[in-house]
Amino acid sequence: MSDERPEHSTGGVYSVPGQEYTRDDRYLATRITADGRDGFPVEPGRYRLIAARACPWASRVIIVRRLLGLESALSMGLAGPTHDARSWTFDLDPGGRDPVLGIERLQEAFFARDPHYSRGITVPAIVDVRSGAVVTNDFAQMTLDLELEWTAHHRPGAPDLYPERLRDEIDQVNRRVYAKVNNGVYRCGFAGSQDAYDAAYRSLFDGLDWLEERLTGQRYLVGDTITEADVRLFTTLVRFDAVYHGHFKCNRTKLTEMPALWAYARDLFQTPGFGDTVDFAQIKEHYYVVHTDINPTGIVPAGPDLSGWLHPHGREQLGGRPFGDGTPPGPVPDGERVAAAGTPLG
């Protein structure tokens, strides 16, 4: 993939006429580990997470970082919600430059890693501050490594989001949710033919119906506490009515019309570390402005009404302990709060 090809937050290619959407999953797979086996040991202050609140894959990492209390060990820079064909940009920062890396475009950090880099310029990415080069943009591995490799820097009371006894089940659920739901909405939105769209649509709602049934009788996806699986599903659900239902033609049913899923999503949204990271204004601006092939006018819809996210969810009756033996994260650090216009929690 050329770096000049329009690239969106997922790292996948746009639809090709007559074909189904296929994600480009060729990520920089270098890992930051406790033993430094890939040449990048865990070190507080050495790395910077570059994310965007608009992007569901980056939002996973934002949530996990907050739940684990890694803010002081791993700084975070936020790209703006829109970008051009070249790269995500730091237009939210004074002067349009990331204050730590000193760059205007995330592309610069990818080219510092490889001057001939030709794949997607994607978020999330973790950058080595010393060299200014991207270490990894492998979003799926990134959260697992924050959970398993950065344990020495977790806050007291940090939850176990990937408990060993549940890992096989979490992995199985994650694979199904990714194929049918996380990536499924994109397969609908960027389908290149009616047949491709119809197949993606059926698969998506097959996955959502399975989740509706599963979550009718249990509070969380795996076990009785929040895990990696819940984080991965939440970032798709929180965008569903705001963008996927209309913009991506995922319109059989709204999230608000699926009782268990809607209550489950509200339960997580109202849990510290989830809703307080969500910026609906940036989410809508990204999808409706950047995806000009789907929305050529660039008009951002005024709705939906967000007040429902704060309505009581009643999921406590199913039991469960959100943080297990741990505790909720503290207040959002200064400088990382979502603007009041972006979330009903404002």
Question: Where are the chain's structural domains?
Answer: 165-342
Residue ranges for the known binding site are 88
Q: Is the peptide bond before 328 cis (omega within 30 degrees of 0)?
A: no
Cβ density class 126-160: b for 16+ within 10 Å, e for less:
bbbeeebbbbbbbbbebbbbbbebbeebbbeebbb
**Tens of pLDDT along the chain (346 residues)?**
222 223 333 344 445 556 888 888 889 999 999 999 999 999 999 999 999 999 999 999 999 999 999 999 999 999 999 998 889 999 999 999 999 999 999 999 999 999 999 999 999 999 999 999 999 999 999 999 999 999 999 999 999 999 999 999 999 999 999 999 999 999 999 999 999 999 999 999 999 999 999 999 999 999 999 999 999 999 999 999 999 999 999 999 999 999 999 999 999 999 999 999 999 999 999 999 999 999 999 999 999 999 999 999 999 999 999 999 999 999 999 999 998 888 888 7
How many CA within 13 A on the CB side of residue 219?
20
Annotation marks residue 55 as catalytic:
yes
Give domain 165-342's CATH number out of 3.90.1150.10, 3.50.50.60, 3.20.20.140, 1.20.1050.10. Answer: 1.20.1050.10
**Residue from 344, 338, 341, 242 nearest 283 by CA:** 242
Tokens of 202: 């059926």
> Quick one: three-class SS letters along 270-328?
CCCCCHHHCCHHHHHHHHHHHCCCCCCCCCCCCCCCCHHHHCCCCHHHHCCCCCCCCCC
Tokens of 280: 């609906």
Distance CA 267, CA 275 (A): 10
Q: What is the pLDDT of residue 16?
A: 59
Q: Is the peptide bond before 124 cis (omega within 30 degrees of 0)?
A: yes
Query: Strands, DSSP E only, in 33-107?
Result: 47-51, 75-78
**Residue from 195, 192, 291, 274 nearest 236 by CA:** 274
Catalytic residue among 21, 186, 197, 220: 186
Distance CA 99, CA 20 (A): 40
Q: How far is CA 275 from CA 174, 279, 343, in A?
A: 21, 9, 8
Q: What is the pLDDT of residue 18?
A: 64
Distance CA 211, CA 173 (A): 10
Catalytic residue among 55, 197, 264, 288: 55
Chain position carrying tokens 């703006």: 80
Distance CA 75, CA 204 (A): 35
Dihedral sign for Cα atoms in the order 240, 273, 125, 32: negative
Residue ranges for the known binding site for glutathione are 88
Query: Strands, DSSP E only, in 52-155?
Result: 75-78, 125-128, 133-136
Q: Rounded to the nearest 5°, which phi and psi values hold at 333?
A: -60, 150
Q: How far is CA 66 from CA 96, 140, 250, 274, 310, in A?
A: 25, 17, 30, 9, 20
What percent of the chain has a predicted confidence (pLDDT) above 90? 89
Distance CA 238, CA 259 (A): 15
How many CA within 13 A on the CB side of residue 91?
9
Annotation marks residue 162 as catalytic:
no
Dihedral sign for Cα atoms in the order 262, 239, 161, 168: positive
Tokens of 264: 């489950």
AA identity, residue 95: G
Tokens of 188: 């609908």
Q: Which residues contact 122 (CB under 8 A, 6 or more apart)?
A: 7, 9, 10, 11, 27, 57, 137, 139
